[in-house]
Chains A and B, each alone.
Chain A
Amino acid sequence: MKRFLGFVKKEFLHIFRDYRTLIILFGIPAAQILIFGYAVSTDLKNAGVAILDLSHDEITLRLTDKLMSSGFFKRTETLLNYSDIDQVFKKGNTKAVIIFEDDFGKNLVNENVAHLSIIADGSEPNIATLVTNYATAIVNDFTVEFAGPQLINIVRISPEVKMFYNPNLKSHFMFVPGVVTLILILICALMTSVTITREKEFGTMEVLLVSPLRPVQIILGKVMPYFLLSFLNVLLILALSWLVFGLPVKGSLLLLLVECMLYILMSLTLGILISTVSDNMQQAIFISLIGLMLPTVLLSGFIFPIENMPKIYDYVSSILPPRYFIVIIKNIMIKGTGIMYIWKETLILIIMTFIFVGLSVRNFKIRLE
C-alpha cells in the first residue's frame, strides 16, 4: 500500500508540474461552460422584431406598443404581407416576426378569441426561444389587462409559436449535459491514454513492470489521480452552470454524482484500452480526439437528435457510451427523473466498463508475452 501511495503521489506531481495538463483538465471545461453560459445569456435586450399587422386596429396597436415598450424588443420593420417574412429574416437583425390575424381586434371583442403568430429565426435557437417566451408572456399579460380578472377564463389571445429554419428547436439547457458528456469522456480517455503511453515511450513502463509493483497497481496508480480530478471537474462544471445560468439539478444530486463517477470510470477504462493499442502519445491523442470527439459531437445526440438520423447512424451511435450518458444526465438534470427511468442506460455503461477492462487486460497480457 505504501508503495502504491508513493506511486500515486508521483502521478500527481506529473500533473501539477505540467501546466498544459492542468489547462486541459480545468481550463477547457471552465471555458466551455462560460462560453455556453454567455452564449445563452438569459438577458434579452432590444431584440429586433418585425410586425405584420393584418388587422391594424386599436387593440393590435396597443399590444404592439406594449411589446415595444417592454425594453426587450425593438421594432425593425413593418411588413405588409407574408412573402416579406423570409426577406426580413435574411437581413439578420430581425429575430422574430409577430403577425396579427385579420380582424384581430374585432374577433377579440366579439368572439373573445383572437389569434397571433410569433415566428422566430430558428437558426439561432437560444435567442429564438427567449424571444418567443418573452413575447408570449407579454401577450398573456396583455390579455389579463384587457379582459380584467373576471373574464380571464373567457377572453383568449392565442399566440401560435413557429420556428423558421429549425422546427425541432432544442432548449439551450441541453448544452450543459452535452458539454459534461463530451468533456468527461475526452479528458478521461485522452489523459489516461496519454499518461500511460508516455511511460511506454520514455521506457519507464518497463522499469515499473520489473519492479515489485503489480500491473494492476501501476494502472490504478496512474488512473486514480485522474479519477479524482475528473470528479472535481464535474463539481466545477455543475457549479459554474448553476452560477452562470442558473441551471439547477432537478433530480437527485447524489444520483447524478454517482452516475458521473460511473461515466468517469467507464471513460478511464476506455483510456486504458486506447493506451494498450497505441505505441506512442501521438497515436493515443489521435485515437482519443478523432475516435471520440467527432462521434460524440455528431452522433451521440448531443447536438443532432438521434431520432432524425438515418438508421445506420443510429446503429453506429448505439456503441458510443456518450449516447447513454446524455440520456442519463438529461433525465436527472432537466427532467428530474430517478433511477427507474435510466437503469437501462446505467446498466449499459456498467457493461461497457467491464468490456473495456476485459479487453485491456487481454491486450496487456499479449504485450507482456
Chain B
Amino acid sequence: MSDKVIYVKNLVKKFGNFTANDNLSFEVYAGEIFGFLGANGAGKTTAIRILSGLSKPTSGEVNIAGFDAYRETEKIKKNIGYMCQKFSLYEDLTVRENIILYGGIYGMTKSLIRERLSELLAKLRFQEYENRMISALPLGLRQKLAFSVAVLHEPKIVFLDEPTGGVDPITRRQFWESIYETASRGITVFVTTHYMDEAEYCDRISIMNEGKIVALDTPEKLKKQYDADSIEEVFIKIARP
C-alpha cells in the first residue's frame, strides 16, 4: 500500500479573492477506496477538477498517477477514469456502441475493445442487452454499465463524483460491490458521496469544510476520535461545531 497514485501537497486554488481549496495535502495509495466528503460548496468539485486535469492549481504540488497536474494534464487524462452523477452514457446509442465509442476515445485498439466488450457483457450478464439502446435499460443496469465503461481502459485511478445519487438502496449496494471488485484489481477509487453510510465502506475518508480538509483517516479511527457511532455524526460534529 505504499504506492502513491495521488500526491497532493499544499494545494491552493483561488478564484479572484475566493479561496476554493485552501492548502490541501493528502495522499492516496494504489488499490485504495478513498472517500471524499464535504458539504455542498466545501470545495470538493474544485478539487476533483484539478485532480482530473480539468483545471490547474493556483499553487502547491499535485501529482496524479505519476504526472504533474500543471504540465502533464494530457497524460493524466489517459490514466484516469471518470463517472459523474448524471449518466455518462449516450441514451440514443446501444450498449455496444457506447463501449466502442469510449474505448476509441481512450485510444484502445479495436481487438482490445472487442475483447473487453465480451468480457464485460459476460460479467454483467448483459449479452441480451448488447444491441439495446441505453434508454431502454433500467436505472441500476445503466449505472453499473457506466461504471464499467469508466474503467474500461484499466485506468490507475477512477473518479466517481456522487455516482449513486438518486438510486435505490439495493442498487447502491450492488454498485459498491463492483467498486470493491475494481479496487481489488488495483485500481484506486476516488469517490465523493452524500450518503454517510457509503462513507463507512471506504478504506479512508477525508472531510472538507470551507475549502480545508478538516479530517482524514479510516472511518473507525475518525469515529473514535470524535466519539461518534457513525460517520454521519462525525460529519455533523465537524461541519456544525
Contacts and interface: CB of A to CB of B under 8 A. Distances in A.
Contact of B82 (A2, A18, A210): A210
A212 interface: yes
Contacts of B159: 210
A368 B85 contact: no
Given A207-B84, A210-B77, A13 B105 contact: no
Interface string B75-92: 001101011111111111
Query: Which one of A14, A18, A202 has the highest number of Cβ atoms from chain B below 10 Å of its Cβ?
Result: A202
Contacts of A211: 77, 82, 102, 105-106
A203 B105 contact: no
Contacts of B54: 209-210, 368
B155 to A, nearest CB: 10
Given A2-B104, A6-B105, A7-B105, A212 B86 contact: no
A210 B64 CA distance: 13
A10 B97 contact: yes
Interface residues of B, number: 30
B55 interface: yes
B90 A212 contact: no
A65 interface: no
Nearest to A365: B55
B93 A203 contact: no
Nearest to B15: A369
A2 B97 CA distance: 15
A204 B163 CA distance: 14
A3 B104 contact: yes
Nearest to A199: B90
B93 A212 contact: no
A263 to B, nearest CB: 29
A3 B78 CA distance: 12
Interface in A1-53: 2-3, 5-7, 10, 13-14, 17-18
B54 to A, nearest CB: 6
B194 to A, nearest CB: 16
A208 B82 CA distance: 9
Given A207-B82, A211-B77, A212-B106, 12 more contacts: A3-B106, A6-B104, A7-B101, A7-B104, A13-B97, A14-B90, A202-B90, A203-B86, A206-B86, A206-B88, A209-B54, A368-B54
Interface of A: 2-3, 5-7, 10, 13-14, 17-18, 202-204, 206-214, 368-369
